[in-house]
Amino acid sequence: MNIKITGTGSYIPSKVKKNENFLKHQFLNIDGTTIESSNEVIVEKFKSITGIAERRYAKSHLNSSDLAYFAALKAIEDANIDPEELDYIILAHNFGDISKDTDQSDLVPCLASRVKHSLRIKNPKCVAYDILFGCPGWIQGVIQAHAFIKAGIAKKCLIIGSETLSRVLDNHDRDSMIYSDGAGATIIEATNEEGGILAHEAASFTYDEAYYLFYGNSNNKSLKTDTKYLKMYGRKIYEFALTNVPNAMKTCLDKSGVHINDLSKILIHQANEKMDEAIIKRFYRLYKIPVPKNIMPMTIHDLGNSSVATVPTLLDLIRNNELEDHSFSKGDVIMFASVGSGMHINAIIYKY
């Protein structure tokens, strides 16, 4: 028995937010003081570091669970399964449903239950729950599904990553330009076909690193302090990722028994182009070989950082030949890897 991804789906919101749309924002330092650089310089520097030219935001009437449902429908159709046969629905997110222009997260019922309800699944033994694991949440959901299937308590699982980060942004913080909305979903099931999940690795660094990403006040000190926004210590995250992610990736690859030269693609969380490139460079340096061409497909330029949705969306686009110069062939070995708030790291080696 092998445990494989048999279907994928994604939902990419139609609302485009280009970098130029930020030129009229009032960006402030964390202490509320005015930034000396012009917005033109701020936006240009942001693009050179992150690679992001535009990102997608959900329409005002849609919430994260809606995006998750749309992606789930596509994955179920792609896998050609009866949703009543699902044993688990695991939905990774970070902020629940946040309606447009509201301050509160809505988490009751959990988003996975909402998706199951929308799918009209009657089977009560289809267990639906959420996972909060930062940006690596979808990968962690796949790891959990793998464990359930391997233990014999499940055969088919739906794993979703969905987020509407546009609802938790501080418009006075330069970091807000990174984030976007979206959803990606996969069907994981036991099969007699060759390939599947070969190895996985996960770790949580919390002693000093737990609050590198956090909920905090706006940089605009005139705004009410009981409204919180997504905040981060970007430099600390960058240094943490470069120090720890390549080692986790190497541990995972070595555990799988696959030779580094046989790795076909690395689907890494689309966090920041420069950071992702540096992670990949350090990973290959551990094996004392140069980074192969075309090994790391990217969507961040047009889609931004949609947290838990970046990796499954990337996977779905490549499977459907919608990402230029990238494709999968039978037998290809793929690595999924992510880092995010917590601070959590994980990776999977997968044979296509």
Render 234-285 in DSSP notation, one character per residue: HHHHHHHHHHHHHHHHHHHHHHHT--GGGEEEEEE--S-HHHHHHHHHHHHH
Q: How many Cβ atoms are within 10 Å of 282's Cβ, its own excluded?
A: 18
| DSSP, res 175 | G
**How many Cβ atoms sit within 10 Å of the Cβ of residue 100?**
14
* DSSP secondary structure code for residue 109 in this structure: S
In this predicted structure, what is the pLDDT of residue 1?
83
Would you call 208 helix, strand, or coil by DSSP? coil
Sheet strands (E) in the chain: 2-11, 15-18, 54-57, 88-92, 127-131, 156-164, 181-191, 196-204, 213-216, 229-232, 263-268, 333-340, 344-351
The pLDDT value recorded for residue 223 is 85
Given this model, what pLDDT does residue 320 score? 96
Phi-psi region of 336 (alpha: psi -120 to 50; beta: other; left: phi over 0): beta
pTM of the model: 0.95
Per-residue pLDDT for the chain (352 aa), expressed as one digit of tens each? 899 999 999 999 999 999 999 998 899 999 889 898 899 999 999 999 999 999 999 999 999 999 999 999 999 999 999 999 999 999 999 999 999 877 789 999 999 999 999 999 999 999 999 999 999 999 999 999 999 999 999 999 999 999 999 999 999 999 999 999 999 999 999 998 889 999 999 999 999 999 999 999 999 988 877 888 999 999 999 999 999 999 999 999 999 999 999 999 999 999 999 999 999 999 999 999 999 999 999 999 999 999 999 999 999 999 999 999 999 999 999 999 999 999 999 999 999 9
Q: Rounded distance, CA 107 to CA 88, Å? A: 19
Which residue matches tokens 């088919």? 156
- Domains of the chain, first to last: 2-193 (3.40.47.10), 198-351 (3.40.47.10)
